[in-house]
Structure 1
């Protein structure tokens, strides 16, 4: 039979959906909600970009789609940045149906060149350059070229990106592959970087534009309303919540509180803490374009399966296993974005997946000290006892009985393993039992026992008396 505690937990679970839905409904405060004439979104990519840049691009593309923008232009001047962020930006650009442009103004180097190849049109600015996309890693010996295996996979990624958008594949691969030879242009061992004249003459760039206004004029967008996107408060919050360290802590707190709620039905407070932690984790992940509703649905299904396993079905079977897989899987994929063409285990994505696995593993390992503290310290504290029992769990004893209950800990010295009695309150897992003629504060080993259930003392640890169901 399902215990009363489930009624405290299940109504809270939809908060996860509400938190994500409220995030989904947000739009930038400065973004117009109605369209008048032609509309162009400009996304500045300036300086070395890091993890948060894809937040701006994804938000801009969503808003551009909502307002039926005529074009999205990346105003680019960057020496490159993080590969994982570049891959997410590439994925978002390939998925959009809005015409996209990269205005190289004046530099699109390294990961910047990779992103430029994901747009429909590349326009070179004055004295601009593009290329130099050899993937680098930072190790104990400093910055150096990535290992050959990673380079090979990245070369395939850059070719695929160029092919998707109709850019010259050999030129694109020359940006990242030192082993590629392009007669008359690139010899073995070199990394290709093109000037504005070379990029135009080789067919990578369509033309040169002195200014962004000139680009707009040549594309028939003169007079269009221009919306220029910047990092907003929402983006900063998403960057904070989606960082590996913060997500790891939120997951650890959420999992610990969820287990506590499932082990102590009727409490409610741990369930609320779990929902708050997971709401922040999934909300931040959604804002960072790492997850959507599917992860939340899997998490919800996993929790329901665990509730069914614990309170409805005896033992530990298929429902419990599936519940754990759904919960852990939803947390894992809240940290990992899929490729536009589905699940792809290329080297860059394996690196992203490995980081996600590390974060979830750290959260699970972090639960060990949590439960050590919970099992060894908290049960002996008055705060924990009040939390476990609460006003519902205690009877309303007469004054004399109250005094007897207060004196119960003094009687614990006479309690020994094997002594029998009965539960005077629900044990969830803490409560009061009558052992002989003494009322004693007791703990089960996680089992829920109803009032009146026969109990037997299994062990005594200092002031703590552990009991189990008796005969």
Structure 2
């Protein structure tokens, strides 16, 4: 009896021991969410304002991931938001991607950043991160009250949330200050005048996050991808340079040096250095915005035409028309090349004001070499240089000279070493003929052939 009882207990005991050994492995496995998946993991940083430059970078990252047959794209998000039109295009890019996508919110997925996250297949947030606060604002940071625009953006946010099976009312509450949203999962109610912004823990409870991880690699592992096959899409040198050149402070400095350099070269010609510096700064300004995707070829055309018109204004009398048209073309080129029109006007205004001060100082210092000397007659027409005044020459009456040209009836004669334009009363007097002044009427000196003595 004892032997049979021992045999009955041995089976369950061994099974219990086996479960005890395997349990820690199952609990500690990073791929508990799903079975291990194949394919490389591509991490694309979304760590700048959402505009065309970031859009081109993300498009390149998605294309690269598709070409390499990646299994997962991780959007490493930490952005304050940006342009709605760019966010809409990028949302479509994420949603329509044939590759599985996950939004890893590292810091803030604010405004348009939350829209990008909602278009991903999964959302993973890091501790201390935030998603939401997606109300539309203008360039000054003021809330947009236009009902049509608010309704458009709210519908986009709601649609992105509901496609992923999330509560669309919460997405609406992230965009519209005029609605009330109940969130019983976190014991909160969004009142009118408020905007929803969720922490990582809150987002997890209301279904706006699927997991909490510390790194993008951990998020990929949670989805079942190996951490040994991870690639991070890096910005190219050109993209980094473009990012630096499109910084508002750098843009202002470039415009200041460009305006000051070109104008100083025009009004104080001969140095060469100011002109070269000015042109280089303008080229850097337009190149940075062109690479970032803000500027098109038309901005280069506007700038070049405007500069040529302003140069021509200094040499061709046009009653200011060329100067005005040139200024309009220059300003249009500079403003159209920038990401934000209001920022461009501010940068241009500061740069132009500072440039005027420097130009005024340089003009005073080098006033003797300025371009204005081209329009001022500085040579004196003195008698010792062979010039005669246009005043009456009564003292010439009775003076004898010799004709230097045939007088038919006008010509030139020499009187005591001075060349004078003369005229006869109608008679023809050949060259090298002695003549005498018989009348001086203003600038009209009348002569006749001198009689032989």
Classify the TM-score, shorter chain.
0.5 to 0.7
> Match of 2:295, SS?
coil
Are 1:181 and 2:192 an aligned pair? no
Q: Distance in 2 between matches of 1:61 and 1:120?
A: 15
Greater gyration radius: 2
Shift of 1:223: 9.9
Cα distance in 2 for partners of 1:44, 1:151 equals: 32
Distance 1:376 1:164, change over 3 A: farther
Distance in structure 2 (CA, Å) of the matches to 1:433 and 1:223: 83
Contact 1:151 1:177 survives alignment (8 Å): no
Candidates 341, 345, 370, aligned match of 1:357: 345
* Long gaps (5+) in structure 1: 1-36, 138-145, 337-351, 389-425, 440-471
Aligned to 1:282: 286
- Cα 1:438–1:271, aligned 2, differ >3 Å: closer, same or farther? farther
Residues 174/131 of structure 1: CA separation in 2 closer, same or farther (3 Å cut): farther
Residue in 1 aligned with 2:249?
245
Residue of 337, 354, 371 corresponding to 1:334: 337
Query: Do the aligned partners of 2:91 and 2:116 also contact (CA within 8 Å) in 1?
Result: no
- What TM-score do you get using the length of structure 1 for normalisation? 0.53
Q: How does 1:294-373 map to 2 (within 5 A)?
A: 294-307=298-311, 309-311=313-315, 314-317=318-321, 319-336=322-339, 352-373=340-361
- Note the alpha carbon deviations across 1:208-241, whole angstroms, 9 max, x for none: 5878578769999879964313567655544442
Note if contact 1:124-1:209 (Cα within 8 Å) is conserved in structure 2: yes
Secondary structure in 2 matching 1:433: coil
TM-score, normalising length: structure 2: 0.54
> Which 5+ residue runs of structure 2 have no aligned equivalent?
1-37, 386-453
| TM-fit CA distance, 1:91 | 5.9
Deviation at 1:242, TM superposition (A): 2.1
Q: What are the superposed Cα offsets for residues 141-195 of structure 1, whole Å, 9 maximum, x if unpaired?
A: xxxxx75556989855742542675656532221244432235654425543557
CA distance 1:222–1:272, change in 2 (3 Å)? same
Contact 1:40 1:227 (8 Å CA) reproduced: yes
1:51–1:195 CA distance, 2 compared to 1 (3 A): closer
Shift of 1:278: 0.2
For residues 132 and 280 of structure 1, the distance between their equivalents in structure 2, rounded to whole angstroms, comes to 36
Report if aligned partners of 2:300, 2:333 keep a CA contact under 8 Å in 1: yes
1:178–1:282 CA distance, 2 compared to 1 (3 A): same
Where does 1:213-228 land on structure 2 (aligned, <5 Å)?
A: 226-228=230-232
Q: Secondary structure at the match of 2:123?
A: strand
Question: Which residue of structure 2 aligns with residue 93 of structure 1?
Answer: 90
Q: Is the 8 A contact 1:258 1:270 kept in 2?
A: yes
Q: Is the 8 A contact 2:302 2:330 kept in 1?
A: yes
Equivalent in the alignment of 1:131: 131
CA-based RMSD:
5.0
Counterparts of 2:42 and 2:272 in 1: how far apart (Å)? 47
Cα distance change of structure 1 residues 240 and 274 upon mapping to structure 2, 3 Å threshold: same
Higher RCO (CA < 8 A, seq sep 6+): 1
Inter-partner Cα distance in structure 2 for 1:118 and 1:297: 40
Partner of residue 433 from structure 1, selected from 379, 382, 395: 379
